[in-house]
Structure 1
C-alpha cells in the first residue's frame, strides 16, 4: 500500500491502523509525527466513510481529556467519598462538597472551587468552546456518506444536529490525508455540536494528532476513552506523550493496560509506539525487545505486518546491524505489496530454496533445462503469495 503522504515512511513512528503503510510505522528517535503515515493516523475497526483508528473512515493496524490517576490507569480520580463532616459543635461547621442527593451543599460557596476538574467539565467541553468559524460543507456531501457505526453513535442527537455532525465527520474522512488542518476545523465543528459522543471526540483527537497538536490529541483521547471505555487508542496516546517529549510517561502509560486485553492490531501498534519511546531514551536494545512479539512473523503478512517489519528494521539499523535491517525492510515491502495485490487481511508469504538433481532435469519440460518448481504461483526471488 503506498504512502499517500509522499513520504516513504522509513522513519515514521506514528501508530497505524488495519492497512499498515508500506515501509512505514517505524519508531524514530524524534517526534512521532515525522512524515505523514499513509493511513493518516490511527484507526478503529469500522467500515469506510467515517472517522476511524488511524484512518478516519471505518469508525475501526489497517481506528480517541481526562486527567490520569496517579496509578497511570487513565481513569479520573474522584477523590473518594464525600466529606460528611465530623458533627462537632465546638467550632464552625465543616463545609461539605456534596449532599447525599448529589447536589452542592447549602451555603457552600466554595463547592465549585473544591470540585475536581473532571467533575466540573467531565466531557472536556470547554476545550472546544472557544470562538470557531465552522468551515463550509461542499455540495454533494450528505450525512448518508458517514459509515453505519459512526452514524449509530449519533442517534442520541436530534435529527437536525445529527445530520450536521455527520456532514463534518464525512469531511474529516475526506480531508485527513490531503488537508489535515482543514479536517481539524471540521472535527472541532463536530465536537462543538456533539461533545459527548465518543466517535466525535475520537475524531477530534485524530485530527489534532495529524496536525501535531499532541497536547490536544492526548486530552481528547482521554476523553474518548472515558466516554467509550475503550483502550483501542492507547498506542496513539503513547505516541502523543512522545510528541510532548515525555518518553518516560509514554512507557508508563503503555504499561498501564494489560496487553492481553487489547486486540492484536492494537497490541502491534502499542509495541511500535513503545519501541519508539525506547529509542527516544537512547535504549536501542530495549527498543528491539519491545518489537520481538509473536506477530513478528515474516512468513505471514497481516494488515499490521509492514509497519511492524519496518519498525524492526529501523531499530536494527540504529544498532548498526545494516544487513539484517535491509532484510526486514524488504520483508516490509513484500508484505505491503502482497496485501495490496491480494486485497485480503491475511496473506501467507513463503521463502523457499529449490534444490535440483539430475532426475529433476530429466523430468522437466525441457525449457532451458529448468525444472518446474512445486507449489505453483511463484513470485520473484522465491516468494510465493497464496
Structure 2
C-alpha cells in the first residue's frame, strides 16, 4: 500500500521504535511507516488502517507492537475474533494487562457477554491502572445490558469515579454510559441529569451527549446544509414551472 511522502516512520512512539530495533534497518523503517499509517487512519478510515496493519503484520509478526496495532485495526472494523487473537498474541509477548478490557469487549462483540463478565472479575483487573479499571467497568456494564440486566448495568457503573467532580479522560464516557443505561431503564429525569453532566465533561466531543440531551428536552435541529439544498430545489422547481407556463413568442 502507498505511503505518503510526509511519513518517515520517525513519528511512532519511542517504545515502539525500540521494539523495531530487533529488525534489519530497512525493514524496521517500512514497518514503522505502516504503523504510522495505522495510527493516522484508524479513526477516520478504519478500513485503510486495517490494510496497513496487515502489511505491518506480514513484515514483522513477531513484534508485539505490530500485533497490538493489528488488533486495534481489526477491532475498529468489528473483526472481533481477529482482534482478540492479535490482542492475545501481544499480551503473550509483553506479559502486560493493558489490553484486558479490549479483549473482554471483543468477547462481547462475539456474542459472549458471560465471558466478558468472567474477565471483569479476574485478578488481571486489579493490575490495571485507573483508566483501565474504568474501561473494564464500562465493558462489564455493556455485558450486563447484552444480557438484558439493565438494573445490574446501572449498579455496575455506580462508582467513585462516576461520583467524582473532577474531569478525567474517561469521565464523559462513564457519565454517558450511566445516562444511557438510566434512559433505557425508563428513568428519564435521571438520564437527563447525567447526559448534562456528560456534556460538561465532554471537551473533545467524544460522545453525542449534547444531542441526546437535546432529544430529551424536545429540541429538534435542522440540518443547515440539507435546508439550503431544499431551498435550492424549491427555487429550481419554481424556475422550471415558470419556463413551462411562459407564453410562446408570437409568430409572424
Q: Of residues 239, 255, 269 in structure 1, which corresponds to 2:105?
A: 239
Quote the residue 2:67 is aligned against: 201
Query: Is 1:255–2:121 an aligned residue pair?
Result: yes
Matched with 2:176 is: 310
Please state how far the C-alpha of 1:144 moved relative to its aligned partner.
Answer: 1.1
Distance 2:105 2:48 in 1: 22
CA distance, structure 1, for counterparts of residue 75 and residue 123 of structure 2: 21
- Say whether residues 1:335 and 2:193 are aligned partners: no
- How many residues end up aligned between the 2 structures? 206
2:33 to 146, 167, 186: 167
- The reply to whether residue 225 of structure 1 matches residue 225 of structure 2 is no
Distance in 2 between the 1:309 and 1:186 partners? Answer: 34
Equivalent residue, structure 1, for 2:186: 320
3-state DSSP class of the match of 2:167? strand
* Residue 339 of structure 1, CA deviation: 10
Greater share of residues in helix: 2
State the superposition RMSD in angstroms.
1.6
Residue segments in structure 2 that go unaligned for 5+ positions in a row: 207-252
> 2:177 matched to 1:276?
no
- The two structures have a TM-score, normalised by structure 2, of 0.78
Cα 1:339/1:188, change in 2 over 3 Å? closer
Please report how far the alpha carbon of residue 257 of structure 1 lies from its aligned counterpart in structure 2 after TM superposition. 2.9
- Which digits, 9 at most, give the CA deviation of each residue in 1:281-320, with x for residues without a partner? 0011111121122211241111110000101111111211
**Where has structure 1 moved over 6 Å in runs of 4 or more?**
none
Partner of 1:140: 6
Indicate whether 1:292 and 2:158 are aligned.
Answer: yes
Once the 2 structures are TM-superposed, how far is the Cα of residue 147 of structure 1 from its aligned partner?
2.1
- 1:214 aligned residue: 80
Q: Tell me, which stretches of 5 or more residues in structure 1 are unaligned?
A: 1-134, 341-386
Q: Following superposition of structure 1 onto structure 2, how do residues 34-49 of structure 1 map, counting pairs within 5 Å?
A: none
Q: Which residue of 2 aligns with 1:347?
A: none
Q: What are the within-5 Å matches in structure 2 for residues 35-184 of structure 1?
A: 135-184=1-50
Q: Indicate the structure whose relative CO is greater, using CA pairs within 8 Å and at least 6 residues apart.
A: 1
1:301–1:338 contact (8 Å) kept in structure 2: no
**Alpha-carbon contact 2:97-2:124 (below 8 Å) kept:** no
Normalising by structure 1, report the TM-score.
0.52
Displacement of 1:256 in angstroms is 2.1
**Which residue does 1:38 correspond to in 2?**
none
Q: Deviations over 1:234-263 (max 9, x none)?
A: 111111111111111111122223433110
**Contact 2:162 2:174 (8 Å CA) reproduced:** yes
